[in-house]
Amino acid sequence: MQKSYVLTATFPSAKTSLERLRVALGILGEFDVSVIEYYSEDRSADKIANMLGKRESIFLSGTMQKQQNLIPCSTDASERKKAVDIIADSMKFARQAGARSVMISSGARPDDEKMDAECLKCFSESVCELHRLAGDVDILLEPGDRDVEHRHLIGHTPVAVDFVRGVRPNVPNISLVFDTSHIAQLGEDLYGSWNIAKDYCTHVHLANCSLVKGSALYGDKHPPFGIEGGVFSHDAMQEFYSSLGSAQSPMTVGLEFITQGPSEENFFLGIAQTTGWFLKKRAAGAG
């Protein structure tokens, strides 16, 4: 099992600044994290590859989808083509920068849920096109909430599993991301959903959320574990993390927290101090 960290969530300044990306990588380099999840608007592939060094990476095209409102499940042909073209370009860049995979989402669901089936068909076509355009990059599909904040087409675990199962004959290198925050926002049972998803999942995000309406942290804000009004305590997440050790397939497990407050560095140090069950300091001289 490999450990990852969602750098962009905790260090959002790194999205637009290679210097800030370098600083964030230096801070994370003090811990036993072997996979970096990031998004960068700067497409200097060689520079980023050099910064990452021997660490594996996952490029977060889903972050770009949110920023640019890209909807690869759209029934509008021009809107879907725009999304596919831009995501495909990001996948090609990611490979040049040394990424092994790219994380995507379905995009927003239609207001009329009767349109879901047609949108799922359109998304299947988009994923097949992405594989054709950039097939040497693995695709990680991250389901999201359906009704809380981002309103993804693919959210509930059975739907996500059925989608991956159906598209795999044409896209063999697609798998699911299991995000504990999203599972809570979907109103699903954590362990029950994991049992459904585990055979189609190669990546897990350990993340928290608040479902207290009116709270500043309501929705997909990924706050620290154990906050007042949060769904998951440290003990609950540590227990779930420990249970993943019995996974039969290769697995990457990562932490995802969105910075609260003005200092990204101070926020991360607070996370590191409270998640010692996951984040471990590297031994002196360790690469």
Encoding tokens for residue 161? 């599993």
For 106-136, b/e burial (b = at least 16 CB within 10 A) is: bbbbbeeeeebeebbebbbbbbebbbeebee
CB 39 within 8 A of CB 68: no
pLDDT value at position 247?
A: 62
Q: Is the pLDDT of residue 249 over 70?
A: no
Q: Locate the DSSP E strands across 71-228.
A: 101-104, 138-141, 174-179, 201-206
pLDDT tens, residue by residue, 175-197 = 999 999 999 999 999 999 999 99
Each domain of the chain, given as residue ranges in start order, spans 2-274
Over range 31-36, report the average pLDDT. 96
Q: What's 187's DSSP letter? A: T
The three-class DSSP label of residue 19 is helix
The mean pLDDT of 145-165, rounded to a whole number, is 96
Q: Taking the model in full, what pTM does it have? A: 0.95
pLDDT of residue 23: 98
For residues 8 and 64, give the distance between their C-alpha atoms in angstroms, rounded to a whole number.
11
Specify the residue for token string 């996974």. Answer: 247
Q: Residues 222-230: what's their mean pLDDT?
A: 96
Stretch 151-170: mean pLDDT: 97
Q: What is the CATH number of domain 2-274?
A: 3.20.20.150
